[in-house]
Amino acid sequence: MPQGSALGPILYTLYTATPGDIVRKHGLQSPLYADDCQIYVSFKPGLNEESAALWKMEACAKAIYASVACNMLKLNRDNTGFLVIHAKHRPRPPIFDIEIACDRVVPNGSARNIGVMFNDVMNHEHQVQNICKLAFFHIRNLSKTRKCLTQKDTETLVHAFVTSKLDNCNSLLAELSQYLLDKVQRVQNAAARLVSCTREYDQIKPVLKELHWLPVKQRIVFKI
C-alpha cells in the first residue's frame, strides 16, 4: 500500500486483524508490533503437553498461511523461525521441527524481537554479544578521528553511537551474570577512555566520575 496514503492505516488494520483473530481462535497469544508478529504458547514438560503445543502452533501457522494466500500476500519464509525456550537447569524439550508455510523449520538458537536478541535459556548472552560487537565497531571508527575532535564533540558522538546501545532496553540486563555484566562494563570503559584520551592501564573510576557517567550496573537500576 502507498505510504502516507489516507487509506493506508485502514487497509493495514484490515490486513493485520485477520491473523490476530486466527491466533486467538487457536488459543495462542500473539504480540504484534507493526508487521512484526510473534506467536507463542507455554506448556509444562511432558510428552502430551509438548505434542499439544506443537499441534496448536502448526494448525495456527497453517491457517495464517491460508489467510495470507487468500489476500494475495506472501508469508516471508526467510524471516520466519521458532524458538524453544526452557530453563537453563532443565533439559531442552524434544521439539526438533515445526511445519510453517508447507516447510519444516528447525528451531533457532536465538531470535530477534524488536531489536533485542533472545536465546533459548533467556540469559541474554546473545544480546550482550551484539551490543559489544556494535559498540566496539563504533569506538574503533571514532578513535581514528579522535585527534580532530574536541572532547565535547567526541562525547556527543559516543552517546549517539555507543552509550545509546547500552541504554536501549537495558532493563532486560538487570539480572545479568557478573561475567556478562563485566563485558558491558568494558564497553563503557573503552568509550570513557576515548572521550577523555585516558591510557589503557590508567584507573577508569575517576574518569567515569569526572564525566558524570554511572557504572553499567547503576545505569540499569537507575533506568528501571
| All structural domains of the chain with their residue ranges | 8-119, 125-223
**Residue 18 amino acid letter:** T
- All three cell numbers of 167, joined, read 541504554
Average pLDDT over every residue of 184-190: 91
Q: Which residue has the cell 525456550?
A: 85
CA 174 to chain centre: 15
pLDDT over 60 (residue 223):
no
For 102-143, what is each residue's pLDDT tens digit?
A: 778 787 878 887 778 888 888 888 888 999 999 999 999 999
What's the chain's Rg over C-alpha atoms? Answer: 23
Higher-pLDDT residue of 222, 12: 12
Average pLDDT over every residue of 130-159: 93
Does residue 180 contact residue 125 with C-beta atoms inside 8 Å? yes
**Residue 224 amino acid letter:** I
Report pLDDT for 1: 62
pLDDT over 60 (residue 160):
yes
CA 175 to chain centre: 16
pLDDT over 70 (residue 35):
no
Report pLDDT for 187: 92
178-196 and 125-143 helices cross at what angle (nearest 10)?
Answer: 10
pLDDT over 70 (residue 5):
yes
Residues 6+ apart with CB under 8 A from 116: 127, 169, 172
Higher-pLDDT residue of 61, 133: 133
For 9-22, what is each residue's pLDDT tens digit?
A: 787 777 777 777 88
Find, among 38, 53, 59, 41, the residue nearest to 94 by Cα: 53
pLDDT over 60 (residue 221):
no
Mean pLDDT of the chain: 82
Best-predicted range by mean pLDDT among 17-31, 36-50, 97-111, 203-217? Answer: 203-217
Q: Which residue has the cell 497469544?
A: 29
- The backbone torsions φ and ψ at residue 150, rounded to the nearest 5 degrees and listed phi first, read -80, 165
First to last CA, the chain: 39
pTM above 0.85, yes or no: no
Q: Which residue has the cell 553511537?
A: 161
Buried/exposed 100-125: b ≥16 CB within 10 Å, e otherwise: bbeeeeebeeebeeeeebbbbeeebb
Per-state percent for the chain, helix, strand, coil, to nearest 5: 55, 10, 35
Report pLDDT for 224: 45
- The backbone torsions φ and ψ at residue 113, rounded to the nearest 5 degrees and listed phi first, read -135, 105
Higher-pLDDT residue of 130, 48: 130
Report pLDDT for 52: 83
| Segment among 8-17, 80-89, 99-108, 214-223 with least mean pLDDT | 214-223
CA–CA distances in Å: residue 56 to residues 22, 29, 65, 189, 194? 11, 11, 14, 48, 52
